[in-house]
Structure 1
Amino acid sequence: MAGIATTCYYLTLSSTSTRKTWLELKTNYGRATPIRRRNLSIRAEVNFVNAEEAKKLIAVEGYAVVDVRDKSQFDRAHIKSCYHVPLFIENTDNDPGTIVKRTLHNNFSGLFFGLPFTKLNPEFVQSVKSQFSPESKLLLVCQEGLRSTAAANKLEQAGFQNIACITSGLQTVKPGTFDSVGKAELQDAGKAGLVTIQGKISAVLGTVLICAYLFITLFPDQAEKLLQMSPVR
């Protein structure tokens, strides 16, 4: 009489410092079978908050602020007592390809928007690790929210467990929300180049045109006399 086949399941969970868990499943049908191993990754979720919530994280929960913007934006304005660890650094490489790209950048984006030509900071994760432990509570900030999200993903992969970011970045922060250092407001630290000058010129011209329109509308006789006084060629 044939023996009755039995099935046994063994479930083994083991955690490591890198927050990875292995699921081991062994099935036995009366004979030796290979063990199947599946790798499951457990990752901490990044906490996305607004400016007011971020302020509470700093004051109440002890989050440290890590500014991941480039040096130019950081120098214009940054949160007081923050740590500066740029995700991108200025690219000063002199290989032919980089020189061409840098020239094109400086003649367009650099000129109009004041953006430096940068590259990914290869020491970013290590720089953060040298100052904080994986259990540290970190609030990552940038100007638009994209760099802080990318930085959070890198730190998450490196084992950091308590990370928060400001949704849409410092550009959404109202004046006075944080104590800041620099000549500009935090929300304006990303503005530079000819765009800002053009904006100022447009504002002045707009004001002049509006004043002229109001003058002609409210004082038509005086406006007509002024026009008659202007030289006609």
Structure 2
Amino acid sequence: MAALSSSSLYHKFHSSTLAYYSNSNSNSNSNYESSSCFTAKPVGYSSRRNGLSITGGLRIQNAATKPAKSPAEEEWKIKRQLLLGKRVRSVDAKEAFRLQKENDFVILDVQPEAEFKEAHPPGAINVQIYRLIKEWTAWDIARRAAFAFFGIFSGTEENPEFIQSVESKIDKSAKIIVACSAGGTMKPSQNFPEGQQSRSLIAAYLLVLNGYTNVYHLEGGLHNWFKEDLPSESEE
């Protein structure tokens, strides 16, 4: 593993582009569609290409039948209520580093594997919550076409083996800090009265649903970890 310059990583994450758009992640009080970690396309955008009707971001009409909604696709308001009810606590980057170093906390990095290999906190465990679309069902083809419409040729989908993979690597009694690139927040603000969803908060929700009892969340994400010039490494 190679140590990395946090200042260069900060600029990389600050300007990184989206890999995943989804209406299921939208904040009901926002005027924008939300990605798994960032704000994406404006609501109300519409177009038609190759027989696909795309309205309000990536709503695909009359293209294929979408599978049943998974827990990860639950409304953010419901996810947030459960996270707050289970006392899932958000910590900043410096506090996360201290907890990892002094209190045996595990950092669970839920970024795509390729991003994890580029840079991550030392000792972090990677289980991606979203992966590249693998199958070629009618629904998957429609999603690929929708991503391609916006110039994204590596569209992602929920990783159905996420919990199984986490359980194989981390005990349910472990103290876990879940991290993604942007982090999101459960704190209300003027623009986001219910906070803002992220991949790490979705992952924290799934962990709590599946019996993990010591779940924390990295506020500000790895973006802030690198900005604070905290240790990082890569995998060659």
TM-score of the pair, normalised by structure 2: 0.53
Aligned position for 1:23:
none
Hey, which of these two has a bigger chunk of helix by percent?
1
Aligned position for 1:213:
none
After superposing on structure 2, the runs of 4+ consecutive aligned residues of structure 1 that deviate more than 4 Å are: none
Hey, what's the Cα distance between the residues in 2 that align with 1:120 and 1:132?
A: 20
**Is residue 2:210 matched to residue 1:172?**
no
Aligned AA (1:117): G
Structure 1 residues 127 and 69 mapped into 2: Cα distance closer, same or farther (>3 Å)? same
Aligned position for 1:31:
none
**Is residue 2:163 matched to residue 1:125?**
yes
54, 74, 88: which one aligns with 1:46:
88
Contact kept, 8 Å, 1:78 with 1:182, in 2: the verdict is no
Aligned position for 1:8:
none
Aligned position for 1:156:
208
- Report deviation, 1:75: 2.7
144, 158, 161: which one aligns with 2:182:
144
Aligned position for 1:105:
147
**Is residue 2:116 matched to residue 1:78?**
no
- Report deviation, 1:182: 5.9
TM-score of the pair, normalised by structure 1: 0.54
Aligned AA (1:58): Q
- Report deviation, 1:167: 0.9
Count of residues in correspondence between the two structures: 138
Structure 1 residues 182 and 131 mapped into 2: Cα distance closer, same or farther (>3 Å)? closer
Aligned AA (1:163): V
Aligned position for 1:57:
99
- Report deviation, 1:107: 4.5
Hey, what's the Cα distance between the residues in 1 that align with 2:201 and 2:169?
A: 20
Contact kept, 8 Å, 2:178 with 2:200, in 1: the verdict is yes
Hey, what's the Cα distance between the residues in 1 that align with 2:151 and 2:89?
A: 32
- Report deviation, 1:43: 5.7
Contact kept, 8 Å, 1:44 with 1:162, in 2: the verdict is no
Identical columns (%): 27
- Report deviation, 1:132: 1.8
Matches within 5 A, 1:6-21: none
Structure 1 residues 44 and 97 mapped into 2: Cα distance closer, same or farther (>3 Å)? closer
- Report deviation, 1:56: 0.6
Structure 1 residues 175 and 48 mapped into 2: Cα distance closer, same or farther (>3 Å)? closer
Hey, what's the Cα distance between the residues in 2 that align with 1:107 and 1:168?
A: 30
Q: Can you list the C-alpha shifts for 1:120-165, whole angstroms capped at 9, x where unaligned?
A: 1111111111122211011111011111111111111111111111
Contact kept, 8 Å, 2:113 with 2:127, in 1: the verdict is no
Hey, what's the Cα distance between the residues in 1 that align with 2:167 and 2:200?
A: 16
> Any unmatched runs of 5+ in structure 2?
1-83, 184-197
